[in-house]
Amino acid sequence: MTFKALRVDKSGQATDVRFVEMSDDELMDGDVTLRVTHSTVNYKDALVMAGRPGIVQRFPMIAGIDLAGIVETSRNSNFQPGDEALLNGYGLSQTHFGGYAEKARVPGEWLIKLPPGMTRAETMAIGTAGYTAMLCVLALERQGVKPEQGPALVTGAAGGVGSVAVALLAAAGWRVEASTGRANEAGYLRDLGAAEIIDRGELSAPGKPLGKERWAAAIDSVGSHTLANAIAGLKRGGAAAACGLAQGMDLSMTVAPFILRGVQLIGIDSVWCPMERRLEAWRRLARDLDRKKLAGMTKTVPFERVMETGANLLAGKVRGRVVVEIG
């Protein structure tokens, strides 16, 4: 028996990404084997498919940082054949074969059973991007910031993390100000719950060490000057959750917002997040995320179009979330 996979390989300095046929004995170690039915396209996936260096840490590799599927065989007491499960991160597509394949073998301790009432397609509509957005919301809650303290800023708002973050914050009672470089997506963002649309140009250039107090909270998936300006614009006691680097990995700013306003910068790691926090995030997503809004931000593509979709994402032509139908 063979299965289809999107494999990433390296020849000299060149990266080769192509569809191949593989066999079960080529799968990596793990005590649970799944038939993968759905995956998704995240920013990291798009970088891998474009051959960008620094993400894949061993070759050959199967791409895809997310998967959802049905258990075929299991030596893990928590999973039985026929169980539906999902997986985000844990080195998928970096050190362990990922979700862009019709089969996957993984350690059972990485898997999460589908939240009650959710389909495999819905969990991948959320995917790492949406799960990361919820981790950001939970981090802000732990910091104690509340909607009555002022608005919340979401940067990269038309992207995957941003779209889910806008919907979650609006549902929690926040006045959401959504920053985007795509003015034509204003209606889309307002439908998700944004009260105001900010042109990303206001935040993407080097700014002042300390700006006007505008936001009580911020969720940033952009990094660089955008994150620095978001922090500089936080109100006293505010907090920002940082989870991305679409603009860049650099962060050039002063300590002024931290020592003069007591603001907090919280880093979000979705890949190696402890299982207890993952489960909390998925419980909250199942409870708090409006399924109609999720459907409105999601498009579905067949497996054969995953590379095309990744290229479009890097070109800024994809909004919201993309579900990939694997098999």
**In this predicted model, what pLDDT tens digit does every residue of 65-89 receive, in sequence order?**
999 999 999 999 999 999 999 999 9
Nearest to 76 by CA among 17, 48, 34, 122: 34
Residue 229 lies in a domain: yes
Structural domain containing residue 233: 128-267
Residue 162 lies in a domain: yes
201: phi then psi, degrees, rounded to nearest 5 = -60, -25
Helix (H, G, I), strand (E, B) or coil at 245: coil
In angstroms, rounded to a whole number, what is the distance separating the alpha carbons of residues 66 and 37? 11
Residue 208 lies in a domain: yes
Encoded tokens for 91 = 């080195």
Question: Quick check: 234 and 218 in contact, CB under 8 A?
Answer: yes
314 and 192 together in one domain: no
> Is 300's pLDDT higher than 90?
yes
97 and 40 together in one domain: yes
For 238-296, the pLDDT digits (tens) are: 999 999 999 999 999 999 999 999 999 999 999 999 999 999 999 999 999 999 999 99
For 165-211, the pLDDT digits (tens) are: 999 999 999 999 999 999 999 999 999 999 999 999 999 999 999 99
Encoded tokens for 130 = 């949406």
Encoded tokens for 266 = 């919280």
248: DSSP letter: B
Total domain count, the chain: 2
Which run of H or of E encompasses 177? strand 176-180
143 and 244 together in one domain: yes
> Is 303's pLDDT higher than 90?
yes
CATH number at residue 224: 3.40.50.720
63 and 27 together in one domain: yes
Confidence at residue 172, expressed as pLDDT on a 0 to 100 scale: 98
141 and 222 together in one domain: yes
- DSSP assignment string, 45-108: HHHHHTT-TTS--SSSEE--SEEEEEEEEE-STT--TT-EEEEE-TTBTTTB--SSBSEEEE-G
238 and 314 together in one domain: no
Peptide bond into 274 cis (omega under 30): no
> Is 11's pLDDT higher than 90?
no
Question: Quick check: 45 and 308 in contact, CB under 8 A?
Answer: no
